[in-house]
Structure 1
Amino acid sequence: MSLNRKLISYGFTDLEKSRRFLGAPELQGLNDDDLFAGLAVAADPDLALQSFVRLLAVDRRAVGAAFSDQGRRAPLFRLLGASEALGEFLMRHPRHLDVVRPAPAVLPVVTQEELRAALLSSVGADPAEANPVAGVGGIEAYRRLRVAYRRHLTDLAVRDLCHCAPVDYLPVVARELADLATAALEASLAVARADLGEVYGADTVARVKLAVIAMGKCGARELNYISDVDVVYVAEGEDLDDSTLTRIGTGLASGMSRGVYSPGTEPALWEVDANLRPEGKDGQLVRTLQSHVSYYQRWAKTWEFQALLKARAAAGDPELGRRYEEAIAPFVWASSQREGFVEGVRAMRRRVTDNIPRDEEARQLKLGPGGLRDVEFTVQLLQLVHGRLDESLRARDTVSAIGALSAGGYIGRSDALDLDDAYRYLRVLEHRIQLMQMRRTHLMPEDETALRALARSSEGCMVTVRPSAQSLHDKWQRTRKLVKRLHESIFYRPLLNNAATLQPEDVQLTAEAAQARLAALGYQDPRGAMRHIEALTGGLRRRAMLQKQLLPILLAWFADGVDPDAGLLGFRRLSESLGESHWYLGMLRDSNAAAERLCAVLSSSRFITDLLEVSPESTKWLGSDAELVPDTFDTQWQEIRSKMSRHPAPNEAIRLIRLIRRRELLRIAIADSSNLLSQPEVGEALADADRAAILGALHVAENQVFGQEEQLTHVVVMAMGRQGGREITYGSDADVIYVHRPLPGADEAAAQKQAEAVVARLAALLTQPCKPPVLAERVLEIDTALRPEGKQGAMVRSISSYREYYRRWSLVWEAQALLRARPLAGDDDLAAEFLALIDPVRYPQDLGETGVREIRRIKARVESERLPRGADPSRHLKLGRGALSDVEWLVQLLQLQHAHAVPALRVQSTLAALDALGDEGLLPSEDVGLLRDSWTLATRIRAANVIWSGRGSDLLPSSRRDLEAVARWCGYGPGSGSELEEDYLRLTRRSRAVFERHFYGY
């Protein structure tokens, strides 16, 4: 066999380089068979060969002794092929090659006490002392400490790499790594005490007690090979003032950190991270115990208690550390009862996920979907929920916690086994990746050679067939999918067992535990939620069986919404309405997108839920974006005409027209919730639905009136206000005015009376109850307050009356109102004539100073008189500071002043007019952008108020829950209610300044 073929068969990849190393003089005299037997067990034989040759060059005698010992040879090559960093450590310190020993049948366990004694002895400190002081200080002590640490780390790595089942050995490795790290902290702290003693005096420093509280994986004794070590410091001093205590305590903490992380001749070990302390990076590095307790009593956030779940006194004064643990524990186990517990825990998980660079997400072992953090998040949340009453769950490390949750009946046995296996496997991969360079990383390698080496090093010493890179990748992907499924189902699947019998090995929570879990996950009425779950999963019908499978995921999606109770109730009602409908069950089973959309709208929108309950068949739209495209006006009008032709009776015709409008409102709202429509598109679609309904109602009204008497006139409905601008939201009234023109030869008085009858019937048809009723209808209210003379004026006028009125008596506010007039329904010729009549009125040649002053006077009066009593002007969406009214009045004033000369301003839409003002240089572009943003956000919030509660409101919500719901609808992420509030208040404050500058000339 040629050398190349032999190298390939042994797993080498860089053949040219490896051939050169095989010819190195350092290998002369060594048995080739023994060499290749050693290389055969190396995860990366290329690396193992190179490191072996370099080691021989440093100390041939020591390396040769290990090589010639058959029991030591395999461990040596396993180490050199799995860790370049530890190979380089042995090159720097070959005398420590003695840790490469034959693997015994039972691997030894090194205790905390043995590690503490060894590392303290390395710096000359007495391990028998509670707060030892190093005999050797300064840089040399730190060097000795790091060498001693790496000696023990290498010893552990050899045992780990030689174990037949690394997954089984993982808890021992993680525990010993944590103990080794805390021993290093203790030794480094001893050096810091010695160094500070020279500055402040040994007696003074000795009076300062410092407890080092390990957090995170170190606190849980499940540390990685290389990881930040999270700590919190607690200090006390005997007869020392606060300033001296803080100064010395900070010096001890800083010196301890430098000992393991500062640059030196021996490389740093790992970083000591104190950012989990109270107030994070901005807080004091060292605090007294009472200061810690006060902070957690008054200011701590939920995620901080989750972090404290793993807090453990690790180094320093043991008695002070014990008192810290006892003082903090009650806060941890009561945290699930805090308001906002769920939001806080989820926000912490989202922050972690959001910080993953996009190009790394698919490679993340720890933070990505189906990664280690999903396991830890799942376990910790269950511990916090149930550990308040069950002390058996108060384990710090994840593996023990999974076992306790299973033993206590909070996780099914099979789920617990799967979760434990997946967690251990992912941790082994993480360890092997970190071992290579001793770098803090959680990314799967991309290079095939590195993947192959990872596969070999993670499978254990009993594997006879070398695993491939592809087999590793496939197993990892299966594990990710398993973890993701468990993460989604473990919270919820046991709840189903309270309502239905599943598999015998599955857990069944007590009623109290089930309700505690639901409450902690955001359900306000856990008992009611359990009743809904029982109703949905009871029985053996096809629907119940399918919902048993789906509910773990659906319950999670409901919990992600603002009101999970409403979501679950709405889902129950919808499912009961649709029964065994094959398309409904199939959509839920086969379309994740449709099911997730359904959960989102049911738990976040009373408006949509109400409409879906009476139109459950509309649920099928959720599975198709094409079905959610709003019907155009022409399409709706064609359908209405068809309905009226088949159902000429007025009551039936108007009922069908109103049903069509209700259907379109629901379609638009669902499309809006799915981000398929922009805000302007929503306004236009809603305006089309209203226009079609009003046009249909006008035809029904005319048929009724003209069917009883001869037609004497034509009637036109003109849209005004936001209806005219096609900028309405859900629940908007229809601002209109009515115009009629008597037929030639008709009596004007009789024609006027007939026109009044038509418009009265039109309004009644749109608002009065139908027979049979249109359930859950959002009635279209007609508002005619913008007609000439306002509420005191005639409901409908003839075209000639309008002409005379505008010639003789029209006021400036009426010209302003006409800016948004648009034909809505009725005779086209009459509409065109009316538009020609009002154009000179609404686009005057010269508004004049008198007109400007009058508009300003009316605006000031509106602000002082129409704002509801007690309303906060900064939060009123319509009349408040910098809100809709300010933007619209400014735009309309500029239109009145310039539209006669600038045709581009002759538009009904506020946003279109704003853009034209910017294009024509009548407003600075930055002001246009600011006004647009303010108007758009206020409009969006008004719509969200209706969507969330089913009722209209012109106020920015003040309750946290309402604000959260509105923020979600406005496109903000979960937990961003306060961000929306801050954005709105800041934006409208700036918008008001722009308004005052241009409207009042301030």
Structure 2
Amino acid sequence: MSLPPLAALPTSLQPLAERARALPLPADWPAARQDALLRVCAASDFVYEQAVRDAELLPSLASSGELERAFAAGELRGQLQALLADCADEDELGRRLRRFRNRQQVRIVWRDITRQADLGETCRDLSDLADACIDLAYAWLYPRHCTQFGTPIGRRSGQAQHMVILGMGKLGAHELNLSSDIDLIFGYPEGGETEGVKRSLDNQEFFIRLGQRLIKALDTITAEGFVFRVDMRLRPYGSSGALVLSFNALEQYYQDQGRDWERYAMIKARVVGGDQEAGKQLLEMLRPFVYRRYLDFSAIEALRAMKLLIQQEVRRKGMADNIKLGSGGIREIEFIAQAFQLIHGGRDLSLQQRPLLKVLATLEGQGYLPAPIIDEMRQGYEFLRYTEHALQAIADRQTQMLPDNEQDRARVGLIMGFDSWAAFHERLMYWRGRIEWHFRQVIADPDEEEGGVAETCIGGEWLPLWEEALDEEMAERQLSEAGFNAPGAALKLLVDLRSGSQVRTMQRLGRERLDAFIPRLLAQAVEHANPDLVLERVLPLVEAVARRSAYLVLLSENPGALQRLITLCAASPWIAEQISRFPLLLDELLNEGRLFSPPLAPELAAELRERLTRIPEDDLEQQMEALRHFKLAHGLRVAASEIAGTLPLMKVSDYLTWLAEAILDQVLALAWRHTVAKHGAPKRADGSQCDPDFIIVGYGKVGGLELGHGSDLDLVFIHDGDSQAETDGAKPIDGAQFFARLGQRIIHLLATQTTSGQLYEVDMRLRPSGASGLLVSSLGAFERYQQGEAWTWEHQALVRARVLVGCARVGAAFEQVRANVLGRERDLPTLQAEVSEMRAKMRDNLGSPATAAGTGANAFEASTSFDLKQDAGGIVDIEFMVQYAALAWSRQHPQLHRYTDNIRILDGLRDAGLMPAADVELLQEAYKAYRAAAHRQALQKEPGKVGGEQFESERRSVMRLWRELGLS
């Protein structure tokens, strides 16, 4: 922030500046430092009084250069450690801590007022000062306390116990202000007794007494002042609770009795003193209390209630000028950030951060809020924090109230870089207005008008019907008049829900949320063209989430999300079922732009990599859940885009294939890491380590970039390691075993059913020798099999095979094997007979009875339905024609085996002059039309069949071309 010229000090501050001239300072102080001194003494009574109290303070700070430079990491702690090294008694500990604190406080205030330090440095220095004072005071007190009362020993572990000191609030977030309390919670790992003295103490009593001594060392006001005011009211049970609790007691409290505001407070908890390692364990134990695995929109209700209490307190105490608690104050920005953290942080680990500015950056980076909003909140927050420091720099007093006297107003204006209080106040009110507006967008009740007056509850006209205040006839009349075609059936759905076991056993809060949601649902359902269908498909979701009513809050809080839910469920029972089975997908409905704009392949892969890097490497369960949620979320986004018409068929398949590839890439990495960790790395034939010399080959739909919703994966695993050489780990196995176990782990990661379902159903039957063959083939064995033993239908399958993920070198070698096999010289009559025979078997087993006889006109005319995939003239006929052509002519036209998808292979047939352009276009259009219909059927949860009268011309044309190729 800019500062006015020193000569422009307001007249009212001139006497305060002049008093600095009486201080005994070195004559050789440069002019800039002398001018800075005048400004600082004009602004801060605290600095002036400390300089008068200790004549050597300012000269010492200046000669050390500490007034003009930032501290390096750990420097502040190092200074205090040296100062306490020869401290003899507890009274001396208190004196040294206070003198050190005052010295550093003067330095920090000086650098803040002169703007040699920015907001980040000031907060960091203050937090580091508190950390050092807390931890080093504890380290000094602990051994002396043990000498007096014995060493506390854990009953279970038999190990010496240390206290864990959690810093909460601004201290926990490294955001301490110039005159802040420090909010602390004390804990210790396990119960037991002290040893080494005649009269042992219970561990809790030992730590309570130690905690009291620590608080005294920091908090007691003496002639030298205080170190930090200590507030312990955030501990379990507040002021009436024990000062220190064991980890088990803390976990039990938060699990059973923890309140919403305590979750809010625990977001910023950080170990600031005592046993750091044990502290990490404690925070990990408490993480489930803070961050729920599901979307927790109930957090908004809690924050809203807390804000209401604060507003009432502000009005009661006349604190409208409080820049922290008042309207548009610091607390409102904190609430905005923490609302997103509490709602989404259980699943989005990037939100599990403490510093507010970092959380805001994450909200922008992850797309929760637009960049302009984040930028405005960031600027407003920084302005308010600078203002807070200006208020507190005056007298080292904890205040966030704007001053009511002219002198202090002039000081605040000066520190903030304004010519006058009026100019500063105008800017302050601008930022408070903007913050209040953003706060209302996120936290305010959706039933509340802009001016703060409550409207009639949305959907209130439906409340009597839901609460059974209407008789059956009146209820059905209301439903009929609102547009329901079958009001009796609609009413039965509502009655069944209300009387069902899920609703009857709901707790009071959950039932209140349901009672608030159903009228909203009905109000939006009647706006839809088919409200009957909306109820039929959305109410199963409501029943599924009834016991986790935070999801109902999500939809109540976000009318846009509810509208999108209704639209998608009405359009697709498949989507409705997916969301009912996996309610966490409701999260995807919150951001309309993101929902209908799935990312491209590189972004997909990068997003998944980033998600997994935030999960500890040894937490396989969490990794599997993250993979499944990622697949579900992006699968929904693709389906939503398909329904909205923003993604054509070919792009839908592309996205679903890219999604599978991104997941397989990470699954392979996870499986490799876990298998190597257990057995060591396998070796190549030359003795070097494999890395990983393994590929996953996709066949069928995934190989041909034609995945649909719910498609399984046809996979083949190939390695190029030394099958005989042993791995180099603690439990060595030979290479063949290693790669077999790697393959088994990949299938386990993909196919295991968890609470979020399975990733993919995996079909490995296309590997060499099918179900009786090895799970993983060496590259050499794969080549030998394809050249010497494979059936023609296996070569047909190879047409659609491509490397999905894995080692680039092995992938290139596989492509060469594939090219060699597909490019073999073949006897065309034999090939025609074998392809026709395989197709006939498939029709017999999988097609409709009427078309099982073949591709003749009689079979076609007899059919009353058309199986899009298996019947004559359908998808498989086109695929077989393409595969036949690729096998027949790849030797003369290698471009035919360049691609694995049918559309581009058909392009190759046209370009090589092997098929007329009109016939190629006909097959391509028929193929796309069939697949589009199959996709629509899948989204409607219908089998892949349509009426026999559909696609008549396409089917006749496909069958004609089948015969023209010499196939029967």
TM-score, reference length from structure 2: 0.44
Higher alpha-carbon Rg: 1
